[in-house]
Amino acid sequence: MRLPARPARHRSAARRPGHGPPARDADIVIVGGGTAGAVLAARLSEKPSRQVTLLEAGPVHRPARLPYRLASSAVIGTATGHDWGYTASPGGARLPRGKVLGGSSAVNATVAMRALPSDFARWSANGLRGWTFAEVLPSYRRLERADHGSDALRGRAGPVPVHRLEDHELSRAQAGLLEAAAALGHPRTDFNSARPRGASPYPVTAAEGVRINTAMAYLTEEVRARPGLRIEEHALADRVMFDGDRAAAVRLADGRVLPARDIVLCCGTYGSAAVLLRSGVGPADRMRALGIPVVADLPVGTAYQDHPLLYLVHTGWPHRLGRPRSVAGAALWTAGAEATEGELDLHVGVMQPVFPPLVPGLALIVGLTRPHSRGVIELASRDPALAPRIRPRHLSDERDQRRFREGVTLACRLTRTHPLADLLGPRVLPPALVPGAAGGRALEAAVRTFHHPTSSAPMGADEDPAAVVDASGRVRGTRGLRVIDASIFPDVPSAPTNLTVIMAAEHLAGTFR
């Protein structure tokens, strides 16, 4: 597989077969052609008699004709040019999300780590049925075509290639992290194995430098040619229209109304929450304040989570650090002092080169993967063209502050350990952070997000007051409306979310009649 020549120019896909306004009312309208939406469109359109319309707010590219910035696994986030423009409040830090068919799987760093069995055990302990690790494992295996691991745990014939980087594919700095971790007593491992604790090269959804997003993997030319599947580009959803408590149609920002028997929101943690709120599904007092009629009084946007992150940026000569094949090459995933049985709550990875290129060097990425803090997503306006107000509230829980400081201390130890220490120059960001203290206001001011947002419309048992949807993604208090994306996770899992979002779409595709 080869990257397209740079620059790549592409004609619009809107006039090709399978695109444009639907010929008749759809059985199912999927709002959002991102990580989950592309999977659902492919799986649900397998039934020949079913009419499926997939609405994508961004552009639609053919699988083999992606622009260079989308195809290259070395270009991530806002640098791809396909971004929603979300920002965190306060501060205005960017929160990149892919606005293109394939969604954030088309702009991410390609890391393909599964959630832990302990994550699913935690969800199930609160009464959620059908989501134990044993129950979701077949869906993980169905999605992937893995080149490593045991046959009992890994899929070999799925649409998504999962390649674990080999040592010869790592830069000297990425390999140096693994060696430094070993020197501190952390074993080499496979993150998607039965014993994931330790250090490893990342498994990635990339092949020969090409990022494989879900639109490429699932929405092949053959799938797009199905008579029952229609894909619309630049179709921004305003809200869901209700007939009583039944979701009857999707209203687009251009004023068009698309009726459907079933409507599925796959707009991501920020986008799905915003569509629900504009539709009258959410906290009643907030919607009334914006003049939105209340359809269902539910805690949408009140418990969203993400992994807090800190970049420890060091200078370093490129010829010493080596040239990476992948922006994200290797990491240490381990348990801190407060982790419970089966938890891995600390993540230290290497990002090389630093994007944007602040300095010639690299960044150690410190992530807390089992946070307790919860953020808030709320509407700033009823206008669908305006982004919601997003307040991550990282480290608002004291337990997170303690554990995050432990992660920073661990990362600083790695930078002082051979051979990684021999490759690095001084740390330049954050400049005021003292390694021995690993705390204080300088730390909190420097914290950002790992860009793994979840839980703005969480699943839960019938008696769970925090639940917005049930175990199949059906929105409580409504009929004919579901949400299937990262927003339905009860809390953020302990790993990057891309693979688990794909799994969730696979897992729930079979629940449609």
**Dihedrals phi, psi of 77, to nearest 5 degrees:** 60, -140
DSSP conformational letter for 115: P
Q: What is the helix (H) or strand (E) element at residue 145, kind and residue range?
A: strand 144-146
Distance between CA atoms of residues 263 and 247, nearest Å: 7
Is the bond preceding 138 in cis, omega lying within 30 degrees of 0?
A: no
Expressed in percent and rounded to 5, the helix, strand and coil fractions of the chain are 25, 25, 50
Tell me which amino acid residue 87 is: T
State the catalytic residue, choosing from 163, 314, 347, 452.
Answer: 452
**Sign, CA torsion 38/41/43/45:** negative
Is residue 392 within 8 Å of residue 88, measured between CB atoms? yes
Q: Hey, what are 172's tokens?
A: 């000297």
Distance between CA atoms of residues 510 and 488, nearest Å: 17
Tokens 């990875």 belong to: 349
Exposed/middle/buried for 168, CB within 10 Å: 0-12, 13-18, 19+? exposed
Residues forming a β-bridge with 459: 469
Distance between CA atoms of residues 280 and 240, nearest Å: 9
61 is catalytic: no
Q: Report the SS3 class of residue 100.
A: coil
Q: Which residues are catalytic?
A: 452
